[in-house]
Chains A and B, each alone.
Chain A
Amino acid sequence: MDVETTLKVQNLQARYIQALDDDRLEDWPNFFTDQCRYLVTTADNLAQGLPLGLIYATSRAMLRDRVRSLRDANVYEAQRYRHMIGPPVLEKGEGGLVHARTNFMVARIMHTGETLLFATGRYDDRIAPEEPQGPRFREKVVVIDSRVVDTLLAIPL
């Protein structure tokens, strides 16, 4: 993969996790193409070929709905995430998409100060590199390593 594409992908992913960690949830859907696929699943479901997700969206509108629900409807204690991602491994995908596989760890910091290693896993991203506004996720599959989630999963990964 050429250096320019690599930097583009890394920049997209860095801005993506910063938006989440800075509580700019309203920006989160804008990292995706209009028609997109966002799936949070477990490594165990994936290994068994089971399609179930913890969060599943098939359009940017659905991602916006989730943000509005998190802001206006759902009740959960104040909390933040801190994402750490590794360098992506890139491959050319179909239709000019770039396939990026990236490890992540997410700490969850509760308002009480309690800090937990909340999730580890990998992003399987299909990235459209030449969108008018810059590169965007066409697909983001978040594969969490554990099948157990502590208490609840409110903020997206």
Chain B
Amino acid sequence: MDSAIRQWPADGVTRVPYWVYSDRDLFEDEQARVFRGPTWNFLCLEAELPKPNCYRTSAVGAMPVVVTRDSEGRLNAFENRCAHRGSLLCINERGEARDIVCVYHNWSYDLAGNLTAVAFRKGMGGKGGMPPDARPDENPPRKLRVDTIGGLIFGTLDAGAPPLETYLGPEIVKGIRRVMRAPVRVLGSYSQMLHSNWKLYMENVKDSYHASLLHTFFTTFRLNRLSQKGGLVISEGGGNHISYSLAADTGGKEYEQAGMRAAQEGFGLEAPEMLRHVDEYGDGVGLQILSVFPTFVLQQTRNSLAVRRLVTHGLEKTELVWTIFGFEDDDAAMTERRLQQANLIGPAGYISMEDGAAPGFVQRGVNTAADVLSVVEMGGRGISSDDTRVTEASVRGFWTFYRARMGL
């Protein structure tokens, strides 16, 4: 990339240059500065490692990682790469194991990622093997510092990262603890392959302005009208956010008056029981979307709860991994509610399906417009919390945090 082009525009985060979505060198830089930098990356739920001596694979950006719970119940995470020839250590998504043995040449590791044995290290019958002064663990899999909050496991590769709760900020900590109110029961998972840069999906998550305009199911059934009481919370530095709204409908006519596509009078569901929910948190909040830089989303849509994370397979190829959950204390009726309301989310979700496509629409639109700028001025130019969601403040927050990490 020509460094003359790679200058952030003078207007700051109210303008985003389109090369950020199409520059190959930048993608590689992000892996180092964002994902392997001083950020906390969501790895998986504690409930996905339910007992000692088990593992599951995950990713930090594009880097494959293994997350384990060892025999003492401690959580560990390390790069999924053998110290020997670099093969993946775990080729399955999940499993039980007392140690991790590389499939290629049987080098063994404990569940903390320490090399414990090299097959035939001393050779056989006095022949072969490694020299006595060899250092087989010279290039070990990189270890992550791991911390948890409310059953969510985060990891960082940078010793300079602040403590997790400091990184999240007090409002985000509160927002996470609110949703993660009890031990988790996983209901299932799936992925969506997005044909876009990872940042386009995260902008979509943080963009509370689009929600009721693109997702017409949402608005038509008054799940998320902008006229409903709600707001936006942005952490210091802009990296993390919460967008929320109350479940009650204030009956606003703003949409109808504006004649927008979203408002179709008289549109009702034949089987509205799909949407019936209970106020399980007792605070009237029907929607809470929470994000943590770089790529974590915690979602409460009524009784539908999910964590989402991204795997950056390539510049324009991003896997969105959904894990949908309830709690161990859910009764059968609550589980059924969650399964019914899961119709709202995921690749076939009444309100989420468009989010799989919209980032791709932008990607296709801007691939030949690297030096053009997008306009991000809804709700002004700042990145502060607000009691409206007709704003792009958290998108600007994302870019503020991103630029600081990237030195752009």
Once the chains are docked, how many angstroms separate the CA of A154 from the CA of B192?
A: 13
Closest to B262 in A: A73
**B354 x A76 contact (CB < 8 A):** yes
- A85 on the interface (CB 8 Å rule)? no
What A residues does B270 contact at CB under 8 A? Answer: 61-62, 64-65
Once the chains are docked, how many angstroms separate the CA of A108 from the CA of B189?
A: 23
Once the chains are docked, how many angstroms separate the CA of A44 from the CA of B357?
A: 24
Question: Which A7-45 residues have C-beta < 8 A from chain B?
Answer: 40-42, 44-45
Once the chains are docked, how many angstroms separate the CA of A125 from the CA of B252?
A: 45
Interface residues of B toward A: which range? 35 or more
- Residues of A contacting B: mostly: mixed
- A115 on the interface (CB 8 Å rule)? no
Residue from A52, A59, A62, A149 within 8 A of B347 (CB atoms): A149
**B192 x A152 contact (CB < 8 A):** yes
**A42 x B190 contact (CB < 8 A):** yes
**A50 x B216 contact (CB < 8 A):** no
Once the chains are docked, how many angstroms separate the CA of A79 from the CA of B342?
A: 24
**Closest Cβ–Cβ distance, residue B331 to chain A (whole Å):** 14
**B274 x A65 contact (CB < 8 A):** yes
**B193 x A74 contact (CB < 8 A):** no
What A residues does B190 contact at CB under 8 A? Answer: 42, 45, 52, 54, 147-149
Do A69 and B339 contact each other (CB < 8 Å), given the known contacts A75-B216, A148-B192?
no
- B118 on the interface (CB 8 Å rule)? no
Once the chains are docked, how many angstroms separate the CA of A59 from the CA of B272?
A: 11
**Closest Cβ–Cβ distance, residue B57 to chain A (whole Å):** 13
**A151 x B356 contact (CB < 8 A):** yes
Closest to B319 in A: A148
**B271 x A45 contact (CB < 8 A):** no
* A residues lining the B interface (CB < 8 Å): 40-42, 44-45, 48, 50-59, 61-62, 64-66, 68-69, 72-77, 147-154
* B residues lining the A interface (CB < 8 Å): 186-195, 214, 216-217, 220, 264, 267, 269-271, 274, 319, 324, 335, 339-340, 342-343, 346-348, 350, 353-354, 356-357, 360
Q: Which 6 A-B pairs have the closest CB atoms?
A: A52-B188, A50-B188, A153-B348, A149-B347, A61-B271, A152-B356
